[in-house]
Amino acid sequence: MKPISPILFLCLVILIYSGCETRGNIRLPEHQSSEVKSQAAETRLPADAASILAKAQVPVLCYHQLRDFKSSDSLSARDYIVPVSTFRQHIKALADSGYQTLLPQQLSDYLVYGQPLPPKPVMITFDDTRSDQFDIALPELNKYGFKGVFFIMTVSIGKPGYMNKEQIRQLAAQGHIIGLHTWDHKNVKNYSNEDWEIQINKPRKQLESVTGKKIEHFAYPFGLWNKEALLKIKQLGFKSAFQLSAKRDEDEPLYCIRRIIVPGNWSTTALLKHMKGSF
């Protein structure tokens, strides 16, 4: 058999490696790269709770309504309402400061398996299914190449002022994460046995039907939780759950990840300051 010519050998090498995304010295198709990274992380031994709690926390922001203030809005209501121009300034400031958005699976891989984070990670989350999150937040996130996490309260889907199924489907299709925020925002600390079916199982299946993807992340209504609810959420197969700013559970820190609500009166300076001070 004649030896292969150097030119033919070079052509074969180019064919093997062309059209793929670089991952170290191996190149993977783009749609598989994040999956492979996560699978590679899971081949390592998982960290215990104490090790997870000892790691630096990632800033996780929580937005609700995006609209201009009304004279009828109380001071407490304005904690949950962010004017449109302020929100746009927040997202621009994050981009200008070099922040990169993180999704829940990436956060879990960092906490549990030690996967590296981008230099300045931040997670941007949205609660309650408001339509302004699609109309206002989505274009701003897309403008800077950011991805968000949208926790859906399913009772509101399709109602005036809230997202419909097609908008939720589009979010998921664009690579944003859809999480569950219960059926009608009932406090998980008060659940009876039937509530788990009504508030969690049925709406979870509904969202999976809408998005065509598994719903693996959960946000507690009002940010409130107890040990019993936390363990139930884990038992139901969620990979992570998000609270607000209470102390994390010493045994199951992945099921009480901290967030901060971004109120409407925070300037960009205040936002960046609170992110550094709170996490």
> What pLDDT does 42 receive?
53
Mutual angle of helices 30-41 and 104-113, in 10-degree steps: 30
pLDDT, tens digit (0-9, with 9 covering 90-100), for 244-264:
989 999 999 999 999 999 999
Domains and CATH numbers, the chain: 58-278 (3.20.20.370)
Name residues whose C-beta falls within 8 Å of residue 251's C-beta, 6 or more positions apart in sequence.
Answer: 49
Q: CA separation (Å) from 167 to 147, 157, 256? A: 15, 10, 28
Of 145, 122, 148, residue with least CA distance to 133: 148
pLDDT, position 31: 41
Tokens 């901290």 sit on residue: 258
pLDDT at 264: 96
Is the pLDDT at 265 greater than 90? The verdict is yes
pLDDT tens string 79-90: 999 999 999 999
Q: Does the pLDDT at position 104 exceed 90?
A: yes
Integer Cα distance of 140 and 54 in angstroms: 34
Q: How far apart are CA 154 and CA 185, in angstroms?
A: 9
The rounded mean pLDDT for the chain is: 89
- Which pLDDT band, with edges at 50, 70 and 90, does 165 fall under? very high
pLDDT at residue 5 above 70?
no
CA distances from 158 to 130, 163, 195, 204, 265 (A): 10, 6, 23, 16, 29
pLDDT value at position 120?
96
What are the pLDDT digits (tens) for 7-64? Answer: 544 444 444 444 444 333 333 443 444 555 555 555 679 999 999 999 999 999 999 9
The predicted pLDDT at position 255 comes to 98
Q: Give the length of the chain.
A: 279
Alpha carbons 36 and 84: distance in angstroms, whole number: 38
Predicted TM-score (pTM) of this structure: 0.84
- CB-based contact 208:180 (threshold 8 Å): no
pLDDT above 90: residue 231? yes
Name the more confident of 31 and 240: 240
The pLDDT, as a whole number, for residue 19 is: 45
